[in-house]
Amino acid sequence: MNERSLDWLTARPIAHRGLHDVSRGVVENSIGAAHAAIAAGYAIECDVQATRDGDLVVFHDETLERLTHIQGRVADFDAATLAATRLKGAGETIPTFDAFLAAIDGRTPLVVELKSSFDGDLKPARRVAETLARYNGPVVIESFDPAPIAYLRAEAQALGVAHLPLGMVGEATYDDPYWSMLSPAQRSEMTHFLHYPTTRPDFLSWSVADLPHAIPFLAREGLRIPVTVWTVRGAAQEAAARQWADQIVFEGFAPS
């Protein structure tokens, strides 16, 4: 376990994909949502994934149609095309990771969730590391996929990110059709946290719907690593999260 202090990670609520509110023209994972979170005094969680040409954009979905007026997979477009693609209901386009980091500029803690296809491709993890090695500000990297976190753990020194905390995102089961890409071995590894010897997370982010649960309890009480909880959408969930975790990742309401 990494003994570095992560008090800054849990010091303030973390705005899920920034402080977005589509009714006000502020879309998730946009620079506007980042600015709104900073203005309100929150930390920021964002999603990062690779483009066709190996660059990075800040975008959650695998496909584009929910948040833009075009269709297709993010991975099938180059970064320049995506950076020119307007977000629905906003006067903004999809931000590149570089542009997003420049907008935050170290003013609040940033949680970077690395999206993955669970196909063993580690190039996006390398690109994230290369980008964050140049960033001056409080930041952590997390993922549902153990493979990129294990890779970053093993290669942190060579990649220049040995100073960056690494975390795992998890939930109790992976039986939902959303996780259909997982092999039985991957499903077992993630369900039972069998990746721990190689990932050795500095923190854990867990589903609020799966509280209480042994894994976040043992992470917090046994390993003594911080636990954040996602995605908290109201006061009742916030109360449960405060009992079992150190901080919340929230959206759609103002935390107490």
**Domains within the chain, CATH numbers bracketed:** 7-250 (3.20.20.190)
Mean pLDDT of 216-243: 97
What's the confidence (pLDDT) of residue 221? 97
Q: pLDDT category, 2, cuts 50, 70, 90?
A: very low
Mean pLDDT of 145-173: 98
3-state SS, residue 163? coil
What's the confidence (pLDDT) of residue 211? 98
Of 166, 160, 151, nearest in space to 131 by CA: 160
- Entry pTM: 0.97
What's the confidence (pLDDT) of residue 108? 98
CA 17/CA 111 separation, integer angstroms: 9
What are the C-alpha distances in Å from 203 to residues 26, 43, 169, 180, 190? 29, 16, 9, 26, 15
Residue 110 identity: L
What's the confidence (pLDDT) of residue 15? 99
What's the confidence (pLDDT) of residue 4? 62
Q: pLDDT category, 5, cuts 50, 70, 90?
A: confident
- Look-up of token digits 């589903």: 207
Residue 163 identity: H
CB atoms within 10 A of CB 163: 11
User: Contact at 8 Å (CB) between 139 and 14?
Assistant: no
3-state SS, residue 235? helix
Of 145, 63, 45, 52, nearest in space to 100 by CA: 45
What's the confidence (pLDDT) of residue 129? 98
User: What value does the mean pLDDT of the chain take?
Assistant: 97
User: Contact at 8 Å (CB) between 128 and 28?
Assistant: no
Statement: residue 3 has pLDDT above 70: no
What DSSP string describes 116-142?
--SSS--HHHHHHHHHHTT--S-EEEE
3-17, 48-62, 64-78: lowest mean pLDDT where?
3-17
3-state SS, residue 64? coil
